[in-house]
Amino acid sequence: MDKIARIDMGAAGGPKVTVAGLGDYAGLGGRAMTSLVVAAEVHPLAHPLGAENKLVISPGMLSGTVGSMTGRLSVGCKSPLTGTIKESNAGGQAAQVLARLGYAAVILEGKPAGDDLYKIVISKDGIKVIVDNSLKLMDNYPVVEKLRKEYGDKVAYMTIGSAGERKMLAASIACTDPELRPTRHCGRGGVGAVMGAKRVKAIIIDDAGVTMRPAKNPEAYRDANRKFVEGLRKHPVTGEGLPAYGTNVLTNVLNEAGGYPTNNFKTGQFEGGSKISGEAQAELEIKRGGSATHGCHRGCVIQCSGIYNDKDGKYLTKQPEYETVWSHGGHCGISNLDAIAQMDYMDDNFGVDTIEMGVTIGVAMDAGLAEFGDEAGAIRLLEEVGKGTPLGCVLGSGAGITGKVFGVERVPVVKNQALPAYDPRAVQGIGVTYATTTQGADHTAGYAIATNILKVGGDVDPLKTEGQIELSRNLQIATAAIDSTGMCLFIAFAILDQPETFQALLDMLGSFHGITMTGDDVVALGKKVLSAERDFNTRAGFTKHDDRLPRFFYTEPVAPHNVTFMMKDEELDEVFNW
Amino acid sequence: MKLETLKLHLNSDDLHLFFPLFQKGVTVPAIVGCTLKSLLVDQFAIPVDYVTDRITTIFLDNRPVDDLDRTIIQEGSRVTLSAAMPGLVGATMRRGGFYAALRQGISYAADSEKTSDTSGTVRLKLFNLLLAELAPTVLARGLILERDEFNELLRNLPPQTKHSQQDTGMILLTATF
């Protein structure tokens, strides 16, 4: 990955492609690349859907290699949903293919004046930007089907659905999986709307004629990767739990803990939880001839995804994730897996973030647009989004906008981004991350449970209140670093428990780049990324007062534990003091 | 309490039919007043190593438990057992885990001392990997089912296990595979 492509969509005479060396961005990948480019090059007060914003697409530092779990793709910009800097990442094939073509980043700049819609074809022969108005307002599944007829099955596709073209703030960017289904989404923050604003419908990435990225020390890299894979396979989470049940295995556990937000965060337990659990979902998938074990990209050994078939055994959608099952399920009082899977498919097809969309429907239910538990009503609301009706455009702009339009008081957002599937009153520490992350409410911003290995910020006494602040800080630092490697965050479980697996990861990074990596280097990278992101947000006008949860979390106790969010503002303000 | 006893011998392929029941929770006879560790090791006969290494997430009455030796089981206690879970919150719920501080407001506060042992029942839930691994042990020991729970289970069991039942009372069901 020795080059960066810049595509000026607003250039006089039509889009213009420039390819240059890495310059100041040498050695970066993934979130480090997207955030440092946006922080340096995008005016913090730019309109997110305007010509000044940039959409930065970057594979991780190890993407495109023979290394396992290296297939995450980061997309960054100024978010139209939050107004903050944004990094949203996904699996699928795109990162591996783009990295093998040598691109550390592809940056979409400017904005065309006309109404034409474009597709971008990236191959070893260069980059072509082509007008294709036949793709207008097509959704993700049909648009990929149409493109496959032209470009075949040996490429990766990145597309937006109708929601992205309509510049809905919940719009995502889809990346195709190994079966060329548009199921892996850079979902959070409205990155699809930014792509839509630049009038780019699809990016076709073709790595025919290129090979895997070579490591500086191939033998050491292969050896480190072998040890890394062994570590993942022997760990009970990455080697057993996730392959068997996927992330939805968390439903039963969160529900038991009283931390499962139900009926728009009114209570912490859902009576229908066991009906939509990962255990129930996996059994149903297998019974219908689908699969409970499937990788989102080649080279994945965890295989936490699956294939969800309908009652007739026909493909309906990929295995819905825990957060999706929650947002369209318990959050809306719905306990029918088929209805949830149907909405997962609709989200993927229209191109919207499943968390934002499910939370929005729950807020709409609080506004009286449907009853909690009304699965037909929820699907009907989602159909409005797909049709682009005025109501659909409101809903497609997320929970915050929907709450304002319909006068709902209980709106679970931070920096206008919907909260994920863990009630911060029951799990206070995750509330610290929701409140303070640079990205808006995001569970994955503090997800890399490797801080004890990294010794980020020193050891923490888990029995003290201030431990929660320290832990959130350390988790956010570790996550920013792992998001830059292109590694799936789920590797963190094996790293947490198995020092030899963490060492294998460091050895992979070191042997690939021909350097010696230490835990301190990883920490420094994470801090560098977070500092740039915080600085951008400050210049965009965000203050400590934006690092707060909505008031109802402080005033409404949640059952069964009857607790409120207890962290003091002054404690939250300490998270980024390092 | 009227308690009808029923023993079943089933094909191992039928074990999964009990999984929805275990996820919702089943009532099992137990000596209460003991520690949680004693309940699992001495009464349920689960090997200590398995308890330590495999049952990494335990809830008592919806509260994550950290210290099995200082957690006392009472009549009607709700005990939930899970293997290691993914995600930050999965790690947070782990027994005595590095991230336990993140859920400190809901953690089970350790009991000071054991009370006297008496016969009673506990409500037991099994999740994820532990369903297949522990359900046979629990079933061999016996479940106390409400009549409607039992009738629902019977609807899913193979025809040869159909059993003429009274309309009222509870069932002590044991099953081997």
- Mutual angle of helices A499-513 and A218-234, in 10-degree steps: 150
What pLDDT score was predicted for residue A443?
87
Helix (H) or strand (E) holding A521: helix A519-539
> DSSP letters along B51-117, please?
HHHT--EEEETTEE-S-GGG-B--TT-EEEEE----HHHHHHHSTT-TTGGGGTTTSPPPPSS----
Beta strands in A346-447 (DSSP E): 413-414, 417-418
Q: Do A252 and B82 touch (CB under 8 A)?
A: yes
SS3 content of chain B, % helix, strand, coil (to 5): 40, 25, 35
Cα–Cα distance measured from residue B136 to residue B130, given in angstroms and rounded to the nearest whole number: 10
Average model confidence (pLDDT) across chain A: 94
Task: Please tell me what DSSP assigns to residue B43.
Answer: I
Q: Which of B56, B93, B102 sits opposite A428 (nearest CB)?
A: B102
* Alpha-carbon distance A250 to nearest alpha carbon in chain B (angstroms): 7
What pLDDT score was predicted for residue B100?
86
Amino acid at B91: A
What pLDDT score was predicted for residue B105?
86
Nearest to A494 by CA among A221, A238, A222, A240: A238
Nearest to A180 by CA among A158, A207, A202: A158
Cα–Cα distance measured from residue B128 to residue B84, given in angstroms and rounded to the nearest whole number: 9
Residues of A in contact with B23 (CB under 8 A): 252, 274, 277, 279-280
What are the b/e assignments for A279-291, b being 16+ CB within 10 Å? bbbbbbbbebebb
Check CB contact of A11 with chain B, cutoff 8 Å.
no
Task: Please tell me what DSSP assigns to residue A494.
Answer: H
Cα–Cα distance measured from residue A552 to residue A140, given in angstroms and rounded to the nearest whole number: 37
Contact between B71 and B33 (Cβ < 8 Å): no
Contact between A75 and A89 (Cβ < 8 Å): yes
Nearest to B81 by CA among B137, B130, B34, B36: B130
Residues of B in contact with A280 (CB under 8 A): 20, 23
What pLDDT score was predicted for residue B78?
97
Mean pLDDT of B103-128: 88
Q: Is the dihedral of CA A523, A529, A535, A538 positive or negative?
A: negative
Q: Do A253 and B19 touch (CB under 8 A)?
A: no
Check CB contact of A457 with chain B, cutoff 8 Å.
no
Task: Please tell me what DSSP assigns to residue B15.
Answer: G
Nearest to A426 by CA among A249, A271, A267, A264: A267
CATH number listed for the domain at residues A428-572: 1.10.599.10
> DSSP letters along A539-559, please?
HTT--GGGS---THHHHS-BT
Cα–Cα distance measured from residue A372 to residue B57, given in angstroms and rounded to the nearest whole number: 31
Say if strands A305-309 and A291-294 run parallel, antiparallel, or are unpaired.
antiparallel
Cα–Cα distance measured from residue A34 to residue A49, given in angstroms and rounded to the nearest whole number: 17
Contact between A488 and A303 (Cβ < 8 Å): no
Say if strands A184-186 and A173-175 run parallel, antiparallel, or are unpaired.
antiparallel
Residues of B in contact with A257 (CB under 8 A): 59, 62, 64, 93, 103, 106
Q: Which residue has the tokens 């080697």?
A: A239
* A3-205 CATH fold: Aldehyde Ferredoxin Oxidoreductase;  A, domain 1 (3.60.9)
Domain ranges of chain B: 3-176
Check CB contact of A274 with chain B, cutoff 8 Å.
yes
Mind listing the pLDDT tens digit for each residue in A485-506? 888 888 888 887 788 998 999 8
Amino acid at B144: I
Mind listing the pLDDT tens digit for each residue in A548-565? 999 999 999 999 999 999
> Which residue of A lies nearest to B100 if distances are taken between CA atoms?
A462
Q: Do A427 and B19 touch (CB under 8 A)?
A: no
Q: Do B103 and A254 touch (CB under 8 A)?
A: no
Q: Is the pLDDT of residue A108 over 90?
A: yes
Q: Which residues pair with A4 in a beta bridge?
A: A20, A105
Q: Is the pLDDT of residue A226 over 90?
A: yes
Check CB contact of A449 with chain B, cutoff 8 Å.
yes
Residues of B in contact with A451 (CB under 8 A): 98
Task: Please tell me what DSSP assigns to residue A213.
Answer: P
Mind listing the pLDDT tens digit for each residue in B35-79? 999 999 999 999 999 999 999 999 999 999 999 999 999 999 999
Q: Do A446 and B88 touch (CB under 8 A)?
A: yes
Contact between A144 and A157 (Cβ < 8 Å): yes
Mean pLDDT of A536-543: 98
Rounded (10°) CA dihedral A496, A498, A499, A504: -100
> Which residue of B lies nearest to A461 if distances are taken between CA atoms?
B101
What pLDDT score was predicted for residue B163?
60
Residues of A in contact with B57 (CB under 8 A): 253
Tokens found for residue B18: 């009990």
H and E: helices and strands count for chain A: 24, 17
Q: Count Cα neighbours of A238 within 13 Å in the Cβ-side half-sphere.
A: 25
Cα–Cα distance measured from residue A488 to residue A302, given in angstroms and rounded to the nearest whole number: 10
Mind listing the pLDDT tens digit for each residue in A341-359? 999 999 999 999 999 999 9
Give residue ranges of B with CB < 8 Å to any A CB. 16, 19-20, 23-24, 54, 56-57, 59, 62-64, 80, 82-93, 98-106, 125, 127-129, 131
Helix (H) or strand (E) holding A59: strand A55-59
Q: Do A247 and B86 touch (CB under 8 A)?
A: yes
Mean pLDDT of A7-36: 96
- Mutual angle of helices A466-485 and A30-41, in 10-degree steps: 100
Q: Which of B93, B104, B129 sits opposite A253 (nearest CB)?
A: B93
ipTM: 0.92
Task: Please tell me what DSSP assigns to residue A321.
Answer: P
Cα–Cα distance measured from residue A105 to residue A125, given in angstroms and rounded to the nearest whole number: 17
SS3 content of chain A, % helix, strand, coil (to 5): 45, 15, 40
Residues of B in contact with A292 (CB under 8 A): none
> Which residue of A lies nearest to B18 if distances are taken between CA atoms?
A280
Q: Which of A247, A256, A429 sits opposite B87 (nearest CB)?
A: A247
Q: Do B101 and A253 touch (CB under 8 A)?
A: no
Q: Which residue has the tokens 């050994």?
A: A301
Q: Do A429 and B129 touch (CB under 8 A)?
A: no
> Which residue of A lies nearest to B91 if distances are taken between CA atoms?
A449
> Which residue of B lies nearest to A272 if distances are taken between CA atoms?
B24
Contact between A182 and A159 (Cβ < 8 Å): yes
Nearest to B12 by CA among B96, B132, B119, B127: B132
What pLDDT score was predicted for residue A462?
43
What pLDDT score was predicted for residue A558?
96
Instruction: Among A69, A235, A237, pick the best mutation site for testing chain B contact (most B Cβ within 10 A).
Output: A237
Q: Do B103 and A429 touch (CB under 8 A)?
A: yes
Contact between A370 and A405 (Cβ < 8 Å): no
Question: What band does B157 get if pLDDT is binned at 50, 70 and 90?
Answer: confident
Q: Do B101 and A245 touch (CB under 8 A)?
A: no
Q: Peptide bond before A320: cis, by omega within 30 degrees of 0? A: no
In this structure, chain B runs to a length of 177
B12 vs A82: which has the higher pLDDT: A82
Which CATH architecture best describes the domain A247-411?
A: Orthogonal Bundle (1.10)
Check CB contact of A259 with chain B, cutoff 8 Å.
yes
Cα–Cα distance measured from residue A403 to residue B69, given in angstroms and rounded to the nearest whole number: 48
Q: Is the pLDDT of residue A460 over 60?
A: no
Instruction: Among A252, A255, A442, A554, pick the best mutation site for testing chain B contact (most B Cβ within 10 A).
Output: A252
Among A281-285, A523-527, B25-29, name the one with the lowest average pLDDT.
A523-527
- Kindly give, in sequence order, each residue whose CB lies less than 8 Å from that of residue A154, ignoring residues fewer than 6 positions away: A206, A208
- Kindly give, in sequence order, each residue whose CB lies less than 8 Å from that of residue A145, ignoring residues fewer than 6 positions away: none
Cα–Cα distance measured from residue A359 to residue A188, given in angstroms and rounded to the nearest whole number: 13
Q: Is the pLDDT of residue A331 over 50?
A: yes
Contact between A47 and A37 (Cβ < 8 Å): no
Q: Which residue has the tokens 């493909």?
A: A315
Check CB contact of A560 with chain B, cutoff 8 Å.
yes
- Kindly give, in sequence order, each residue whose CB lies less than 8 Å from that of residue B162, ignoring residues fewer than 6 positions away: B154
Q: Do A430 and B16 touch (CB under 8 A)?
A: no
> Which residue of A lies nearest to B132 if distances are taken between CA atoms?
A279
Cα–Cα distance measured from residue A257 to residue A261, given in angstroms and rounded to the nearest whole number: 11
Count A/B contacts: CB-CB distance under 8 Å: 150
